[in-house]
């Protein structure tokens, strides 16, 4: 029993020594940290000591001049950085707008070439003109090569007074198709008391290289659409080429499908005989 009490006493003594040692180490570490901080401060002061030395040898006036110059340099640099910041912010906005425009163009062209069904292609063009450009009354007209006439194949929001066909070369629409040039009416596109179906806002000839196969004609914009933006003009030029090829290939595909069915029927008939 006495032996056990003696051992626990010794253990306790050892632990106390150990704790003291730990406390001492902690104090040393704290002291070390303080010293390192002081060294860092002294190093910082030493950096500027050259400048202080410079002041010692000059008059107060020269010192003021020196500080004024330094202040001016700092102000100039500040303005320069401010301008750079503004420039970066503007460029960021431009890039954002460009990204959004590219997304619109990508989605429009992706959808245009997503089908070989003629009616579906027409529906997609209507969707693009209405949802992406913001037109309320508009039509898609195609050229009949035999009669040289333009006929409406799809339209949105147009009244019954609109002419369903126009001769190529007649009026604004016919002239735009004949010349293969896009037409934009002068003035404010929202200034419309009544829609005039002979004087559209925009005519976009649908071209495959130089061959015009039809035209998109816009008569009226949605109430919330106040003007055409840059992306609208990009969309117009994209539609001029991509809508034309989409409609042309869909038409060719449906024709070839029809021919294939006819030939298949003939072959089946011959086999039966």
Partner 1 sequence: MPEHNFLVVEDSPTMRQLISFALKRIPGSKIVEANDGIDALKKLSTQKFDIILTDINMPIMDGLKLVSMVRNDPAHKSIPIIIITTEGAEEDRKRGLALGANAYVPKPIQTADLLNIVNQILGGKR
- Residue ranges of alpha helices (H) inside the chain are 2-56, 60-112, 118-127, 171-179, 230-272
Contact by Cβ (8 Å): 111, 122: no
Using DSSP's 3-state secondary structure scheme, residue 195 falls into coil
For partner 1, the closer of residues 136 and 141 by Cβ is 136
Residue 203, CA atoms < 13 Å, CB-side half-sphere? 26
Task: For the CB of residue 164, give the shortest distance to partner 1 in the complex, in Å.
Answer: 24
Nearest-angstrom CA–CA distance, 258 and 19: 98
For partner 1, the closer of residues 166 and 219 by Cβ is 219
Nearest-angstrom CA–CA distance, 140 and 152: 6
Report CA-CA distances (Å) from 71 to 48, 63, 137, 233.
16, 12, 63, 50
Binding residues for partner 1, per CB under 8 A?
A: 96-97, 100, 103-104, 106-108, 110-111, 114, 124, 127-128, 130-134, 136, 222-225
For partner 1, the closer of residues 132 and 152 by Cβ is 132
For partner 1, the closer of residues 7 and 107 by Cβ is 107
In this structure, the number of other CB atoms found within 10 A of the CB of residue 10 comes to 10
For partner 1, the closer of residues 109 and 176 by Cβ is 109
Q: What is the distance of C-alpha 22 from the center of its chain?
A: 63
Task: For the CB of residue 128, give the shortest distance to partner 1 in the complex, in Å.
Answer: 6
Q: Which two tokens stand for residue 104?
A: 């619109």
Task: For the CB of residue 196, give the shortest distance to partner 1 in the complex, in Å.
Answer: 22
Task: For the CB of residue 194, give the shortest distance to partner 1 in the complex, in Å.
Answer: 18
Task: For the CB of residue 107, give the shortest distance to partner 1 in the complex, in Å.
Answer: 5
Task: Give every CB contact of residue 137 below 8 A, 6+ residues apart in sequence.
Answer: 156, 157, 158, 159, 195, 218, 219, 220
Task: For the CB of residue 136, give the shortest distance to partner 1 in the complex, in Å.
Answer: 8
For partner 1, the closer of residues 228 and 248 by Cβ is 228
């Amino acid at each position: 029993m006495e032996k056990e009490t003696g051992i626990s006493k010794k253990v306790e003594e050892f632990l106390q020594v150990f704790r003291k040692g730990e406390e001492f180490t902690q104090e040393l570490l704290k002291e070390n940290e303080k010293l390192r901080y002081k060294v860092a401060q002294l190093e910082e002061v030493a950096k500027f000591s050259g400048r202080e030395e410079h002041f010692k040898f000059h008059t107060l006036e020269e010192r003021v001049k020196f500080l004024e110059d330094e202040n001016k340099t700092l102000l100039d640099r500040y303005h320069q950085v401010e301008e750079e910041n503004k420039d970066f912010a503007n460029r960021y906005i431009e890039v954002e707008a460009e990204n959004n425009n590219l997304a619109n163009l990508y989605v429009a062209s992706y959808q245009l070439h997503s089908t070989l069904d003629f009616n579906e292609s027409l529906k997609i063009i209507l969707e693009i003109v209405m949802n992406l450009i913001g037109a309320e009354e508009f039509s898609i007209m195609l050229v009949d090569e035999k009669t040289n006439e333009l006929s409406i194949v799809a339209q949105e929001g147009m009244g019954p007074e609109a002419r369903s066909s126009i001769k190529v070369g007649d009026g604004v629409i016919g002239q735009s198709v004949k010349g293969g040039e896009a037409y934009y009416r002068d003035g404010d596109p929202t200034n419309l008391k009544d829609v005039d179906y002979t004087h559209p806002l925009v005519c976009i000839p649908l071209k495959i290289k130089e061959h015009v196969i039809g035209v998109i004609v816009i008569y009226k914009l949605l109430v919330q659409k106040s003007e055409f933006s840059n992306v609208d003009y990009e969309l117009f030029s994209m539609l001029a080429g991509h809508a034309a090829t989409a409609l042309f290939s869909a038409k060719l595909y449906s024709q070839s499908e029809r021919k294939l069915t006819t030939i298949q029927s003939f072959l089946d008939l011959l086999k039966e005989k």
